Amino acid sequence: MENIKSIRKSLLKDMHNYILKLNDESYYEWWTQYGVPDEPTEEDYDFIAEGNSLWDDAVDIFSRIVKETKERR
């Protein structure tokens, strides 16, 4: 389980960095409301990576944001 947690944590950080690079306040607000908190800490990443429903929510909102950004192009 620890290996899955570390993979999830790494992916969360990558997703967060992707959202930041979009440089769009509305997406960032959406992400911090339903994905990870604003200015997440290592503890935040750990907490989300450990919980299946929190993890699922973060992945879901991330995929929605990615889909919407592709539709805007």
Query: What would the pLDDT profile of 3-15 be if each residue is shown by its tens digit?
Result: 999 999 999 999 9
Give the pLDDT of residue 62: 98
Percentage above 90 pLDDT, the chain: 89
If pLDDT is split at 50, 70 and 90, which confidence band does 1 have?
low
Give the pLDDT of residue 23: 95
Average pLDDT rounded to a whole number, residues 10-31: 97
If pLDDT is split at 50, 70 and 90, which confidence band does 63 have?
very high
28 is written with which tokens? 């960032």
Question: By the 8 A CB rule, do 64 and 27 touch?
Answer: no
Angle, CA of 22, 38 and 48, to the nearest 5° = 100
In the chain, the amino acid numbered 70 is K
Q: What is the largest CA-CA distance in the chain?
A: 39
